Amino acid sequence: MISTRGRYALRMMIDLAERQGEGFVALKEIAESQDISKKYLEQIIPLLNRSGLLLTSRGVTGGYRLAKAPEEYTVGEILRSAEGSMAPVSCLEGSTNDCPRCGKCDTLPIWEGLQTVVDQYLDGISLADILRSKTEKG
Amino acid sequence: MISTRGRYALRMMIDLAERQGEGFVALKEIAESQDISKKYLEQIIPLLNRSGLLLTSRGVTGGYRLAKAPEEYTVGEILRSAEGSMAPVSCLEGSTNDCPRCGKCDTLPIWEGLQTVVDQYLDGISLADILRSKTEKG
DNA sequence: TACTGTGTCAATAGGTTTAATAGACAATTC
DNA sequence: GAATTGTCTATTAAACCTATTGACACAGTA
């Protein structure tokens, strides 16, 4: 289940992608246009920032903008940054599997396959794809 | 993220599938062989039972067995029974979407696609498939 | 320089969920 | 009727989710 952290992060990134060329956009504007608590978004931003997804400007004319072109962001990378991990089970988080049953686990291959399927799907969608389907629809 | 409810349920169903022909298997045996708290499994069983996945026998020789052949169970159906829902976002739970942003939501198509991909993967694996890959491995 | 609007960071809190544990009760067999 | 099984309800400790609050740092502008 994807929490509001990931969903809000994605909506914010889409909003910023739509406003490319407007320079830095204040968080207040994003929060209002997306109808999300600004204070809560504040907590999500560091998660995106430390992955280098955003550019920041401080001061009265400050705000955020995308660090790359919309084509270069995948939904998967955004969600993984915000959620910390998209692993379907905890033993697939991190680089090593610490589960004591790991060697004889009958279900592990299922979770590994699920993770592959999910990652392939989410990494196959870019921010640009989302903008494209928006203009097609409306 | 799949919780222990779903993971334990799946492991229990695999255990029962391996013991087909042994008649009714006591929960105590399953809990011990899978190293899962028997009392916790007790709570998961009603979730599987109300979906008709198990046959029950009470009394001193009682226990559980599969209601169908292993080929007829999919991993998806077991997980959905135990977890309640495999929807990636809450607005896709249930039959109607009550989200007020539903009509203009840019991200909804992404979650719908994710759900489709996940369901197709999980419903493509049967308990018999899991037993098969076990014997192949050793 | 003082002011104002921005981002940054830490702490807190209410609610829900998770993962159990415990105990009373019901059914069945020997 | 004693023992062993399943069934049901309640309780709990910990974690997590979803914010909210407030103090602080920074950068333009008057």
The domain segmentation of chain A, as residue ranges, is 4-137
Is strand D less than 7 A from the beta carbon of B67? no
Predicted pLDDT of residue B94: 85
Mean pLDDT for all residues in chain A: 95
Is strand C less than 7 A from the beta carbon of A26? yes
At residue A19 the predicted structure's pLDDT band, cuts being 50, 70 and 90, is very high
Report d(CA A82, CA A80) in Å as an integer: 6
Residue, of B78 and A102, whose pLDDT is higher: B78
**Cβ contacts of B75 on chain A, cutoff 8 Å:** 110
A30, A24 Cβ separation under 8 angstroms: no
Rg (CA), chain A: 17
Q: Given CA atoms B94, B95, B101, B107 in this order, what sign does their dihedral have? A: positive
Q: Which CATH number fits domain B4-137: 1.10.10.10, 3.80.10.10, 2.30.30.40, 1.10.357.10?
A: 1.10.10.10
Rg (CA), chain B: 17
Amino acid at A1: M
Spanning CA of B125 to C1' of C2, the rounded length in angstroms is 69
Residues on chain A bordering chain B, Cβ-to-Cβ distance under 8 angstroms? 1-2, 7, 10-11, 14, 35, 75, 87-90, 101, 106-107, 109-111, 113-114, 117-118, 121-122, 125, 130, 133-134
Q: Picking from A92-101, B31-40, B82-91, which range would have the lowest pLDDT averaged per residue?
A: A92-101
Report d(CA B136, CA B138) in Å as an integer: 6
Position A86 pLDDT exceeds 70: yes
Is strand D less than 7 A from the beta carbon of A57? yes
**B2 nearest nt, CA–C1':** C18
